[in-house]
Amino acid sequence: MPLRFDNAFLRELPGDPVAGPGTRQVHGAAWSRVMPTPVPAPRLVAHSAEVAALLGLEPWEVADPGFAAVFGGNALLEGMDPWAANYGGHQFGHWAGQLGDGRAISLGEALAADGSRHELQLKGAGRTPYSRGADGRAVLRSSIREFICSEAMHHLGVPTTRALSLVATGEAVVRDMLYDGHPRPEPGAIVCRVAPSFIRFGSFELPASRGDTGLLRALAGFCIWRDFPWLAGDRAGAPLARLHAEGAFDEALFAAWFHEVCVRTARLVGHWMRVGFVHGVLNTDNMSILGLTIDYGPYGWIDDYDPDWTPNTTDAQGRRYRFGWQPRVAHWNLARLAQALSPLFREAAPLQAGLDANAATWAECERDNACAKLGLEDCGDDDLALMRGLQALLHRAGADMTRFFRALAEVDVDAVAPSAEPLRGAFYDPGRHAAEADALDAWLRLYAARCRAGGLPREARAARMRAANPRFVPRNYLVQQAIDRAETGDEAGIGELLDVLRDPYGEQPGRDAYAALRPDWALDRAGCSMLSCSS
């Protein structure tokens, strides 16, 4: 396999002097060398052809048994130098101390033909110094969920880590899926995650919490140098050591970098809210410094519109990570990052400016979402109120978010009293729908009047709405159906679902079943509505 590696993270940042997986507190280091634990029978279950092509891998190379051996953790390619990253984080609002990659092991930073950098990371590859007593493995169901959703998010246009491969390990892994005292053995699997960087907010929080300003400064400078090089202006591309020696990493550069992180984070959350994605566990160690969706665990997709829904059983009481709170939580997490970075600043003003930019960018994203989802040319205060009124109505009526907004493009807004008939198939409960029918008709009249008063031509409006409102998303029950089939030996459902999700905004005639309302059986089914961090 013609992969070329440049492992800058290891080369430029201090590492743990102790190698191997023994659990320990690691000080003064950004990483620890650790080898993946071999598995009995690595076998390729699925892969992303797009990610393979991005890395320059040919189909025959992916089909070779050696591919499964490498991405199942049993072999290394020349240039690979595995490590686990060291970081901390706030979990459910409380400082958790050192966390680190407890079951993820990075193989190396691959350089593609176009010069782009792609860190290859195996999730489920065995114990690391950060496993905290766990086995470092992953089960097939959680690996399928991560593999499918990573790629689906990319095709939806949401910034995300990618997934190269899904490899079955041939061994059983014991998990208590709902933490209810009923563990059971499940088939094991490993996902190869791909991203330019897996640095997180918590990567900076840990050295800051320990008063290690030297490591904090080194990590921040490295992140700018490798992942945000354009911020260095005409110094971009210079050796990192020279930039440090010349004092390039000053307060102004750190401020510009933090501002960029804040803006990217707001835009990321804007995409989540547009498509109905709920991360489920927005701890600071699960927030990417690049503004990518990272760490797919107990995530979920909004079916009936409910801003208070969280898919995470651990979050069922407090609902900290509910759908509607994601912008607020992201801002809170950025405030924790600002606190961690504060030793690099003489005063708080530049950090506050970044936080203000996050809030302002999210406000812009909310307007942009309303504009696109409603098919408007622009979005004023009245239009934002129109959208918020609709969202409240959808919540009361039990409307399916994805189906409703997709069908809204079919409503005839040229009519003074537009018919709600195109929206009929977007509701779960006939009683709740009927109770809000008059309110929906009234809203449609307001919406139609707004479109006629200064909107786009009909076809342009519909095209804009279809480009913002997907027809197909990886609904929880669809992914669970693929999991159920795979656990009985039929793995074809994984590829079938992924193929649909490659074109989420297309009509795809003949595939209506993938755009259907959530079936009743999935309402309370584990894996569909209830998920844990083991899911």
The closest alpha carbon to 440, from 419, 410, 466, 468, belongs to 419
In sign, the C-alpha dihedral spanning 404, 407, 411, 417 is: negative
Q: Which phi and psi angles does 513 have, rounded to 5°? A: -60, -30
Question: What letter would DSSP give residue 422?
Answer: G
Q: Determine how many CB atoms are found less than 10 A away from the CB of residue 25.
A: 11
Length of the chain counted residue by residue? 535
Report residue 148 as tokens: 């499918």
Place of tokens 């900076």: 204
| 250 burial level (CB within 10 Å; 0-12, 13-18, 19+) | exposed
Cα–Cα distance for residue pair 67/441, rounded to 1 Å: 57
End-to-end Cα, the chain, rounded Å:
32
Cα–Cα distance for residue pair 56/263, rounded to 1 Å: 31
At position 459, the amino acid (one-letter code) is: E
Residues 6+ apart with CB under 8 A from 525: 477, 480
The closest alpha carbon to 501, from 473, 477, 478, belongs to 473
Report residue 110 as tokens: 């691959």
The closest alpha carbon to 296, from 39, 459, 533, belongs to 533
Convert 340-349 to b/e letters by CB count within 10 Å (16 or more is b).
bbeebeeeee
Q: Which of 16, 101, 285, 383 is catalytic?
A: 285
Q: Are strands 162-175 and 184-195 parallel, antiparallel or unpaired?
A: antiparallel
| 96 burial level (CB within 10 Å; 0-12, 13-18, 19+) | middle
CA torsion, ordered 331, 335, 340, 343, to nearest 10 deg: 130
Convert 470-505 to b/e letters by CB count within 10 Å (16 or more is b).
bbbbbbbbbbbbbbebbeeeebebbeebbebbbebb
Residues 6+ apart with CB under 8 A from 151: 48, 50, 51, 162, 163, 498, 501, 502
Question: What letter would DSSP give residue 262?
Answer: H
Query: Is 234 known to be catalytic?
Result: no
Cα–Cα distance for residue pair 80/75, rounded to 1 Å: 10
Cα–Cα distance for residue pair 502/506, rounded to 1 Å: 9
Q: Which residues are designated catalytic?
A: 285
